[in-house]
Amino acid sequence: MKIIPAIDIINGNCVRLVNGHFDKITIYNNSPIEQAKYFEEKGAKYLHIVDLSGAKNGKTHQLKLLEAICKSTNLVVDFGGGIRSAEDIQSILNTGCKQVNLGTFLIQNIDEVEVLIQRFGSNKLIASLDVDNEMIRVNGWIENTPFLLFDIIHSLMNKGFTNFAITDINRDGTLTSPAVELYQKILKEFPSINLRASGGVSSEIDLNNLKQMGCEGAILGKALYEGVISLETLFKTGKYE
């Protein structure tokens, strides 16, 4: 299973939110580039970057920073936040980023998904779905929708999506535990998808549970920044990449 450290960016800083609330911000590093290098030094191969300001206001701000991270590390980077067009996707891929996370844009343009798959390929795109009680939220988690998670997964799979990153908003930034029952339910219903779990991971036990159920990856944020989980220790077990 992939271990994927996360860098969430607001005003150029590495931050973490609690349950997606923008008034509950902790700044951990004022240099995302140095943070990315640190994760790589500790053995990480992958990196998940989110432009939180972009996610909230619908405009990607961090392409230069993204390009700098891609050029200064060998990390396999995926990026999301504020993407609202196919041109935005292309601009992100042009930085050296390997995959693009699509959330709000997917939900608002669900009928155009096949065109995106045809243009970019399913391996370049991740359906990044943020949920509260299995209901989709958009625009940086602040706007509710009438869409049920399982209906959206089914629709996106039929249109060619294979990669999914699913965040339980109520777990994110809490260090409580991931939404194990939700992920089990998803993988039982859709066993062929590549599922990345996000939110609440706080121990190697959590990671082992996600691995055993068949998650492709786990996105780690606060647990790394608070020192609750050590990347070096994880990678020494040989269980994760």
Catalytic residue among 51, 130, 172, 206: 130
pLDDT digits 0-9 by tens, 5-31: 999 998 888 887 766 566 667 889 899
Backbone torsion region of residue 81, taken as left when φ is above 0, otherwise alpha when ψ lies between -120 and 50, otherwise beta: left
- pTM of full prediction above 0.85: yes
Catalytic residue among 8, 51, 88, 172: 8
Which of 91, 140, 81, 84 minimizes the C-alpha distance to 120? 91
78 is catalytic: no
Quote the radius of gyration of the chain (alpha carbons, Å).
Answer: 16
> What is residue 20's three-state secondary structure?
coil
pLDDT digits 0-9 by tens, 193-239: 999 999 999 999 999 999 999 999 999 999 999 999 999 999 999 99
Is the pLDDT at 143 greater than 90? The verdict is no
Sign of the dihedral defined by the CA atoms of residues 36, 96, 207, 179, in that order: positive
- H/E element, 9: strand 2-10
Domains of the chain, earliest start first: 2-236 (3.20.20.70)
Backbone torsion region of residue 161, taken as left when φ is above 0, otherwise alpha when ψ lies between -120 and 50, otherwise beta: beta
8 Å CB contact between 170 and 195: no
As given in the structure block, the two tokens for residue 222 are 């606060």
183/62 Cα distance (integer angstroms): 31
8 is catalytic: yes
